Chains A and B, each alone.
Chain A
Amino acid sequence: MQWETVIGLEIHAQLATNSKIFSGASIAFGAEPNTQACNVDLGMPGVLPVLNEEVVRMAVKFGAAIGAELGQRSVFARKNYFYPDLPKGYQISQFELPIVGLGEVDIVLDDGSVKPIGVTRAHLEEDAGKSLHEDFHGMTGIDLNRAGTPLLEIVSEPDMRSAKEAVAYAKVVHQIVQYIGICDGNMQEGSFRVDANVSVRPKGQKEFGTRAELKNINSFRFIEKAINIEVERQIDVIEAGGKVVQETRLYDADRDETRSMRSKEEANDYRYFPDPDLLPVEFDDAFVAAVTADMPELPEAKCKRFSEQYGFGAKDAVALIASRELADYFEAVAKSSGDAKLSANWVMGDLSGALNRDGKSITESPLAAEMLGGLIQRILDNTISGKIAKQVFEAMWNGEGSVDEIIEAKGLKQITDSGAIEQIVDEVIAANPQQVENYRSAEEQKRGKMLGFFVGQVMKASNGKANPQQVNELLKQKL
C-alpha cells in the first residue's frame, strides 16, 4: 500500500514586545523564577487584563506580510482549564474571531517548484507559566515569569505532504516573523515553537486520516525527525490492523520517539466564551497603513530582486537572504566593493566560515561590511591576489587594522613591476636546469602542467606577492 502523509503546523511565535500582553511586567528571558510576574500575571483576586497595543501592531504586520484577511474586529476569549501554571484558571486567547484570517505563504520544493501553503488563521494569546518538576523532590515548582507572555499562534492548513515540506514551511514562517521584527525566532528559548498535526491516508484517498498532534519539537531538524517517526508509527499501526487514535504526542529527541500525552477522551472542554474584561479589538485601514508603512522588503521579494539585480542563481539568492541582517550586510559589501559576485563569494565563504568558527552572528561580525568591501576592492585593483586576501582577511578579523594598513605593515602588496618579476623568473630558471630541459623537450600539451612547477617556485620566491598572470606570461616567454 502507498501512503500519503498530511501535515498541518501550529506555530507559537513569541512576540518581541518589552512587556506582557495584558500587564506591564517584563518578558526578558532567564530571570529568577517569579521575579517578572506582577499581580495581574499572578491572577490575584480583582486584577484585570489591559491589552498591550504593540501586540496588535505586530499581529497586523504579520497578517499583512502573508497577505491575509485582517480581522478588523477580533475578540479575546477565555479558554478555561485548571493547571497550576495557569494562574487564572483560564488562558486569554482568541477563538471565533481571530485578528488574522486566511493567508498564504510559498515554499520552494527540492525540484525548485513553488508550492503555496495556506495559513488558516493567526490569533493572539497569552502564554502560561512553567511547571518545574526536576528541582523539587516529589513536588512541583511553579515559575510564572512566562505567564502572560504574548504569543501569536499561526495555524496552517493541512497542506503539507512530507516532513521536508513541513520544515520548509516552518522555515519560511520563521524567516518572515524575524524579517518583520515581531519575534526573535529563538527555538531553544522557546520563542518559536512548532506543533505538528500529522496523519496518513492511502494514496488517492480524499478523506484525511486520524491525526496526532506532536508537541515539544524545538528545532527544525527535530520537526523532520518527529514527523517521519510518527508517520512510520501510524503506518505500522494501520498495517498491523489497528487504528490511529486522535491524541497529543510528545516528541522525545533523546529516544527519537513520540509518546502519548493525552487522548481526545481525556481532552478538556475549554468552555470558550468572550472575555468580558476586554473590549473587542477594532482597527481601521488607516491603522493597517500606519503599521505596514515601515514594512521591510520581505524574503520572497528580496530573493527575486537578488536574482534579477545581481544575476544570482536561486541557491545563492536563497542563501544570501537567509536573514535580513545577512542580506543587508551583503548589499553593503557589494555596494562598497562594486562587485556583487565576488562580494557574495566572500560573504558566504570566508566571512560565514569565520562567523561559524567563532560562534558569532552576522550582527556581531568584527568586520564591518565596508571593511570587507575595501578588501575586495584591493583584489579587484590588483593590489593583492585572492590568496593573499585570505591572509589579510584573517588579520582584519583579528583587529589588526584596515585593509591598507595590513597590506602595508605586512608588505603584502602584489609585485606587478615586470622588471622585478623578470629577475625572479630568471633566478628560478637558472636554479632548475634539469626541469627547464625537461620542459623544453616536452610535447606542447604536457607543458601546461610542467609550467605549474615554475609558477609555484616564482610565487614561493616572491612570498606570494608576484602577480600570477604576469608570472605566467614571463615564464612562457623565457622558457
Chain B
Amino acid sequence: MHNKSISELASGLRAGEFSSVELVQHYLGRIGSLDKGLNSFITVCGERAMAQARAADEQLASGVTGPLTGIPIAQKDIFCTQGVKTSCGSRMLDSFISPYDATVVSKLQAAGAVTLGKANMDEFAMGSSNETSWYGPVKNPWDTDKVPGGSSGGSAAAVAARLCAAATGTDTGGSIRQPAAFCGITGLKPTYGRVSRYGMIAFASSLDQGGPMTRSAEDAALMLQVMAGVDNRDSTSVDEPVPDYSVTLGDDLDGLRIGLPKEYFDAGLDAEVAASIDLAIAEYKKLGAEVVEITLPNTALAVPTYYVVAPAECSSNLARFDGVRYGHRCDDPKDLEDLYKRSRSEGFGAEVKRRILIGTYALSAGYYDAYYLKAQQIRHLISDDFKRAFERVDVIMGPTTPSTAFGIGEKADDPVTMYLSDIYTIAVNLAGLPGMSIPVQPVSGRPVGLQLIGNYFAEAKLLNVAHRLQQATEWHLAAPDGFE
C-alpha cells in the first residue's frame, strides 16, 4: 500500500479496496516500527489522524470527496496546526500548541488529507542537514550515517521511507530541493507568492516558500494543486490563476530548450554526481529536448548575498520569541532584561543564534548600506541573470547539490562549508523562481538530485518536464533498503 502513488491510493479508496482508516493505520504502524531509527517525526498525531481518517471514510461513503480525501500526509513542523504542537524544531516552541491553522494546513485538510504528524526539521528551518533540530538529527533512510539534508529533512526522510504518502516542506535557500536530492525524492519549491505563507513560521520572509515533497512529479502536481493560490491573509501571495497541473504532465518535450549553466558544473561539483546529471540530460535529449550552455555570471554571489538577507530578516522575525506571551520562558526571571536574555539563550540553538547575530549586525546603523542594501542590489543582478537565460531556454537544469548526502557530524562544526552545500539552490530563492529536484542515477547507493529551474509561475512546465523523465526512467521508484 505504501508504494502506491497518491492517485493510486485515491482510486483504491474510492473503489473501496481499502479504507482511509486502514491506510492511516498502516502508515502509523510503519512510523511506529520504522521511525525510531530515522527520527523523521517530531509529533505523531495518532488519534487525530484516525479521527480524520474516519471522517474521510464517511465522505468516501457519501461520495462527496476532495482531491486528497483519506490520503495520509506529514506536515513539516513549521506549519501551524491548530491544537497540535508546532515546534519549528526548536526548544523555544516545545510547549507551543498552535491556536490556528496555517493556510497550507487548512487547504490540505479541506481537500481531505489526513495529517499523520509533524515532520522534523532544522531549528526554525536554519540548516542544511537537519542536525540543528532540538529534537535530534534525522537520519537518511538510504544510509543512516548520512544526513537527510535540511531544513525539510524530516519530510524528505519520511517520504523516502514510505512513512507517509507525501509531505509538505518549505524552502528558503534549498530546504525542499536539497533534502529531496539527498533522500531520492521529488521536491518542488514554487514561485515566491504561489503558496500562502500564512501560518508558516517565518525564517526569511522574502525567500520562504512552501511546497510539496513527494515520490513523483505526478504526486507533486496533486499536492501543489491544493496548496497553491492567492490568500488574502498573505499580501505577498500572488493573484495568478492556478492551472490544472495534472493535465499538462504528459505533454511531449519535443523542442524543449534546456539551459545548462556552466557555473553549475565547475570544479566544486563531484565528478560522479556530474556523471549522473549527464545521464539524465542524455535521457532528455532522447525525449526530444535541445541542450544549450548558458551562463549565470553572478552565481558566486548568491551564497554571500543570501547570508546577509536571510539572517537580517530572521533577526527581526525571531524577535517575537521573547518569553512573554508563549514559548520558552526561563525560570524565575530577575527582571525584564533577564527574562529576555535567558529565555532566548535557552530557547534557541547555536545556529539560530549565529544567524540572529549576523542579521542584527547587518541591519545595524552604519552597516545597513554596506550589507543589507548591497545584498538587495545583488539580488537584482541575480534575477537579471535568470531573466536573460529564460529569453533563450525553457528550463534550466543542473545538479541540486555539489555532492551526495554527507555524513552526520561531518560539517556540523564548519558553517561556511555547510552553507556552500546550498550553492546551486540559493540563487533560485533570491530570484523568487520555481525550482524542483528529482532523483536521477544514484552514486554508490546514494541518491542524486537533478535540479530543474523554471520561469516565474512555470510550475506546470517543471512538473511536465519532471514527469516525462519519470515515465521514461525508474530512478524515482527506488526505495531504500528496509523501507520497500
Contacts and interface: CB of A to CB of B under 8 A. Distances in A.
B354 interface: no
B320 A46 contact: no
A80 interface: yes
Nearest to B204: A276
A142 interface: yes
Interface stretch (A87-95, A116-124, A170-178): A87-95
Contacts of B93: 45
Interface string A237-275: 000000000000000000000000000000001011100
Interface string A3-25: 00000000000000000000000
B350 interface: no
Interface in B48-105: 79-80, 86, 88, 93, 96, 98-100, 102
A322 interface: no
A273 B235 contact: no
A279 B236 contact: yes
Interface centre among A45, A78, A279 (most CB of B within 10 A): A45
Interface string A387-429: 0000000000000000000000000000000000000000000
A88 B198 CA distance: 15
B319 interface: yes
A41 to B, nearest CB: 11
Contacts of B321: 45
Interface in B313-341: 313, 315-316, 318-322, 324-326, 336, 340
Interface string B233-268: 111100000000000000000000000000000000
A47 B199 contact: yes
A51 interface: yes
A42 interface: yes
B324 A84 contact: yes
Contacts of B326: 44-45
Contact of A45 (B96, B204, B205): B96
Interface in A416-464: none
B220 interface: no
B235 A51 contact: yes
A89 B325 CA distance: 12
Interface stretch (B15-23, B360-368, B460-468): B360-368
B319 A273 contact: no
A48 B198 contact: yes
Contacts of B96: 45
A276 B372 contact: no
B206 interface: yes
Contacts of B80: 44-46
B473 interface: no
B363 A43 contact: no
A84 to B, nearest CB: 5
Contact of B233 (A43, A48, A51, A272): A48
A78 to B, nearest CB: 5
Contacts of A278: 235-236
A308 interface: no
A280 to B, nearest CB: 11
A43 B100 CA distance: 13
A46 B198 contact: yes
Contact of B316 (A48, A50, A273): A273
A43 B205 contact: no
- Give the secondary structure class of A's interface: loop
Given A42-B325, A277-B205, A48 B319 contact: no
A276 B372 CA distance: 13
Contacts of B303: none
A262 to B, nearest CB: 14
Query: Which interface class (under 10, 10 to 19, 20 to 34, 35 or more) fits B?
Result: 35 or more
A84 B205 contact: no
Interface in A36-58: 39, 42-51
B202 A46 contact: yes
Interface string A175-190: 0000000000000000
A29 interface: no
Nearest to A81: B319
B98 A45 contact: yes
A276 B198 contact: no
A46 B322 CA distance: 15
A45 B89 CA distance: 13
Interface in A77-122: 78, 80, 82, 84, 87-90
B316 A47 contact: no
Given A45-B80, A277-B205, A271 B99 contact: no
Interface hub of B88, B197, B233 (most chain A Cβ within 10 A)? B233
Interface residues of A, number: 28
Contacts of A82: 319, 322, 340
Contact of B319 (A50, A90, A276): A90
A46 B93 CA distance: 12
A276 B197 CA distance: 12
Contacts of A272: 363, 368
B200 interface: yes
B232 interface: yes
Given A80-B316, A80-B363, A46 B102 contact: yes
B113 interface: no
B167 interface: no
A271 B363 contact: yes
Given A84-B324, A269-B365, A90 B232 contact: no
A50 B233 contact: yes
Contacts of A48: 197-198, 233-236
Nearest to B96: A45
A277 to B, nearest CB: 5
Contact of A46 (B201, B232, B364, B372): B201
A50 B234 CA distance: 7
Contact of B320 (A89, A271, A277): A89
A50 B340 CA distance: 28
A261 to B, nearest CB: 16
B393 to A, nearest CB: 29
Contacts of B205: 276-277
A47 B198 contact: yes
B316 A78 contact: yes
Contacts of B325: 42-43, 87, 142
A87 B320 contact: yes
A80 B235 contact: no
Contact of A271 (B201, B316, B324, B340): B316
A45 B320 contact: yes
A80 B319 contact: yes
B312 A45 contact: no
B232 A50 contact: yes
A277 B364 CA distance: 20
Interface in B347-389: 360, 363-365, 368, 372
A85 to B, nearest CB: 9
Nearest to B323: A84
A291 B102 CA distance: 35
B319 A89 contact: yes
B84 to A, nearest CB: 13
Contact of B88 (A42, A44, A45, A269): A45
B410 to A, nearest CB: 31
B99 A39 contact: yes
5 contacts: A48-B233, A80-B319, A87-B325, A88-B320, A269-B365
Given A87-B324, A272-B368, A276-B206, 18 more contacts: A45-B88, A46-B198, A46-B200, A48-B197, A82-B340, A87-B320, A89-B316, A89-B318, A90-B319, A142-B325, A271-B316, A271-B363, A271-B364, A276-B236, A277-B202, A277-B205, A278-B235, A278-B236
- Pick the 9 closest A-B CB pairs, nearest first: A89-B319, A271-B363, A276-B205, A276-B206, A46-B199, A43-B320, A45-B201, A46-B80, A46-B201
Interface of A: 39, 42-51, 78, 80, 82, 84, 87-90, 142, 269, 271-273, 276-279
